Amino acid sequence: MPTEGNDVRWLFADQLGPHFLDGDDQRVLLVESRRVFARRRFHRQKAHLVLSAMRHRAAELGERCTFRQADRYRDVFDHRPRAVRGPLTVSHPTTFAARDFVQSLDRVQMLPARGYATEMDEFARWAAGRRGHQLRMEDFYRGTRRRLDLLMDGDEPLGGRWNYDAENREPPPKPKARPELTDPDQRSVLGVPGPWWPDEDEIDEQVRADLDRWEADGDVTFVGRDGPRQFPATRTEALTALRHFLDHRLRAFGRYEDAMMSGDPWMAHSLLSATINLGLLDPVEVVHAAESAYRDRPDQYSLAAVEGFVRQVIGWREYMWQLYWWFGPEYRHLNELRATKPLPKWFVELDADAVQARCLSDVLGDLRDHGWVHHIPRLMVLGNYALQRGWRPDQLTDWFHRSFVDGYDWVMLTNVVGMSQYADGGRMVTKPYAGGGAYINRMSDYCGQCPYSPTVRVGEQACPFAAGYWWFVHRHRDRFAGNHRMRQAIRGLDRLRDLEALVEQEEHRGSRGP
Ligand code: FAD
Ligand code: SF4
């Protein structure tokens, strides 16, 4: 359906940046659906952020925008407001369900996706050319770097290397090596200023009042604690947060990317995922800005830090987005390891106080208070525990989606079903991300403050991650017998003298809060 340039652009709640519009005078339709929040139990701060961002966008667009608050999306399309009765266009939505809905509507044209670095057709061609071989993020990432001419020196990667992963995996600095914190705002023990935080305004006040009222009416329930909004809700805030990260924190990115520190959930992470996922920043502008920062002031940054960051945004993020569509809608139902235990209440409720294990309690507490923790707590604490305990991957996917400010369907499936739970049988990763107490002990400062001991497998002090790891390998030893990357683990299992007692102990512990 040709639009003849007078189309109204329908924006979903994750398409809020300027790159989703074609001009400064284009008219816009924005729909806020209350039922989305009634159907599922979201983190309170996530509901706040999404509503705040949409309402800020509607206010910015002013008369150009038809903003409808409806129970369901369909209500708006069954009785289209006069202002949007003409041709309507929308960028490719970010979920299968929304795409199918758009395609079911009359007089709505779906445009190619925006806000990603690679066209879906291009990825499909790349992936189809690798049939029979495992798709590798590294190959895709290098191709994208070349195509965007990003951190390149002609045809070669800048600095002669594509990958600085080996340098970006250090344990947290020891307390003695940590710099003195003189400025109270300097919250990061890595010696860089803490993240930039936005100020709330009257739109946030209204959002908070609405959420309180919906909750009081009994229509909607939330998990997590309310608190000041911590993530950008406008383009201006998004650009400020990006600038702050590039100027003050990017230099410390990478080196401690895999480390976890109690009392510092943010470390040197960018905190940009929620902002990019709302569409307030385009990932391509983000990585070009990081490259410019490096090229303008090479003495301020290591290439390892900048490449490490670029790899996350244009490598991992982009790859996850493309695989969501490539693997298709059935991917969400995969459960290769036949994990059938339901998620326990303490986990669903983010009840950090119900847990003694310091790592799990700290991470759940941060999630409860902020709706965010960084990648390694997601993968190696929350996901790892679920994997070890045999919790249902579909329930875990839903939980991650609802509990995190940056959770969206497209980013959940490959990250949770594939990367974290190995529920796809290894299409994403070559071995399960299961780790014991020794890993957490090496990569964090948690174990010293924990009633359990990371090296003890059986008995009062048995670390639930250490014992849980062996319980997991034991349960799946036949499944992994042919996986050469699991061979060492299975050999280790055969050497355990206390396996019987360990299995009995962990079967007893099951899914209870450890
Ligand atoms: P940084 O550490 O600063 O990284 C920079 C950016 O890279 C991020 O902002 C993000 O946009 C991107 N990125 C890096 N890794 C990934 C990845 N695996 N998938 C997608 N983007 C990535 N990311 C989400 O955006 N939403 C989610 O709901 C989400 N759930 C996750 C669940 C699990 C089990 C795991 C293992 C990872 C998940 N991630 C998710 C990926 C990653 O953990 C977050 O993007 C990151 O922690 C966000 O913090 P940050 O912005 O400070 O990231
Ligand atoms: Fe976590 Fe085990 Fe370390 Fe305690 S001892 S913090 S449970 S890894």
Residue-wise pLDDT tens digits, 209-249: 999 999 999 889 999 999 999 999 999 999 999 999 999 99
Q: Residue 257 in contact with residue 168, Cβ under 8 Å?
A: yes
Top pLDDT among 201 and 129 is at 201
Confidence of residue 263 (pLDDT cuts 50, 70, 90): confident
**Ligand 1 atom nearest residue 283's Cα:** 11
Distance of CA 471 to the CA centre of its chain: 28
Q: Is the pLDDT of residue 251 over 60?
A: yes
Top pLDDT among 133 and 92 is at 92
| Total residues belonging to the chain | 514
Confidence of residue 131 (pLDDT cuts 50, 70, 90): confident
Distance of CA 146 to the CA centre of its chain: 25
Q: Is the pLDDT of residue 508 over 60?
A: yes
443 C-beta closer than 6 A to ligand 2 = no
Distance of CA 469 to the CA centre of its chain: 24
Q: What's the pTM?
A: 0.95
Q: Is the pLDDT of residue 479 over 50?
A: yes
Confidence of residue 1 (pLDDT cuts 50, 70, 90): very low
Task: Give residue 219 CA to ligand 2 midpoint distance, Å.
Answer: 39
What is the mean predicted confidence (pLDDT) over 54-70?
A: 94
User: DSSP of 410-461, one letter per residue?
Assistant: HHHIIIIIIIIT-TTSSSS-SS-----HHHHHHHBS-GGG-SSBTT--SSTT
Give the residue, out of 355, 358, 364, with the most ligand 2 atoms within 8 A of its beta carbon, to mutate for a pocket test: 358
Output the residue whose Cα is nearest ligand 1's atom 36.
379
Task: Give residue 254 CA to ligand 1 midpoint distance, Å.
Answer: 14
Output the residue whose Cα is nearest ligand 1's atom 43.
375
Task: Give residue 366 CA to ligand 2 midpoint distance, Å.
Answer: 16
pLDDT at residue 348 in the model: 97
**Ligand 2 atom nearest residue 357's Cα:** 7
From CA 296, how far away is CA 277, in angstroms rounded?
A: 28
**Ligand 1 atom nearest residue 245's Cα:** 3
384 C-beta closer than 6 A to ligand 2 = no
Top pLDDT among 190 and 17 is at 17
Q: Is the pLDDT of residue 177 over 70?
A: no
Lowest mean pLDDT across 171-180, 278-287, 421-430: 171-180
Token digits for 237?
């805030």
What is the mean predicted confidence (pLDDT) over 179-200?
A: 70
Task: Give residue 114 CA to ligand 1 midpoint distance, Å.
Answer: 19
358 C-beta closer than 6 A to ligand 2 = yes
Task: Give residue 470 CA to ligand 2 midpoint distance, Å.
Answer: 15
From CA 194, how far away is CA 344, in angstroms rounded?
A: 34
Output the residue whose Cα is nearest ligand 1's atom 50.
271
Top pLDDT among 191 and 318 is at 318
Which alpha helices (DSSP H) does 155-302 contain, by range? 202-216, 235-244, 273-277, 283-296
DSSP state of 129: T
Q: How far is CA 306 from CA 74, 300, 302, in A?
A: 44, 11, 7
Tens digits of residue pLDDT in 3-42: 455 789 999 999 999 999 999 999 999 999 888 888 899 9
Top pLDDT among 57 and 171 is at 57
What is the mean predicted confidence (pLDDT) over 288-298?
A: 96
pLDDT at residue 133 in the model: 62
pLDDT at residue 70 in the model: 85
Confidence of residue 170 (pLDDT cuts 50, 70, 90): confident
278 C-beta closer than 6 A to ligand 2 = no
pLDDT at residue 324 in the model: 96
From CA 12, how far away is CA 20, in angstroms rounded?
A: 10
Task: Give residue 499 CA to ligand 2 midpoint distance, Å.
Answer: 19
Confidence of residue 188 (pLDDT cuts 50, 70, 90): low
From CA 323, how far away is CA 123, in angstroms rounded?
A: 9
User: DSSP of 50-83, one letter per residue?
Assistant: HHHHHHHHHHHHGGGEEEEEESSHHHHHHT--GG
Give the residue, out of 375, 387, 395, 409, with the most ligand 1 atoms within 8 A of its beta carbon, to mutate for a pocket test: 375
Tens digits of residue pLDDT in 394-450: 999 999 999 999 999 999 999 999 999 999 999 988 899 999 999 999 999 999 999
381 C-beta closer than 6 A to ligand 2 = no
Q: Provide the mean pLDDT of the chain.
A: 92
What is the mean predicted confidence (pLDDT) over 316-333?
A: 96
| β partners of residue 32 | 69
452 C-beta closer than 6 A to ligand 2 = yes
302 C-beta closer than 6 A to ligand 2 = no
Classify 409 as helix, strand or coil: helix
Give the residue, out of 276, 312, 399, 419, with the most ligand 1 atoms within 8 A of its beta carbon, to mutate for a pocket test: 312
Confidence of residue 184 (pLDDT cuts 50, 70, 90): very low
pLDDT at residue 135 in the model: 81
Lowest mean pLDDT across 166-175, 232-241, 367-376, 395-404: 166-175
439 C-beta closer than 6 A to ligand 2 = no
Output the residue whose Cα is nearest ligand 2's atom 1.
359
Token digits for 203?
């739109």
Q: Is the pLDDT of residue 98 over 60?
A: yes
Residues within a 6 A CB radius of ligand 1: 269-273, 276-277, 309, 312-313, 316-317, 320, 374-375, 378-379, 383, 400, 404, 406-407, 411-412, 415-416, 419-420
Q: Pairing relation of β-strands 152-153 and 156-157?
A: antiparallel
Ligand with an atom nearest the CA of residue 270: 1
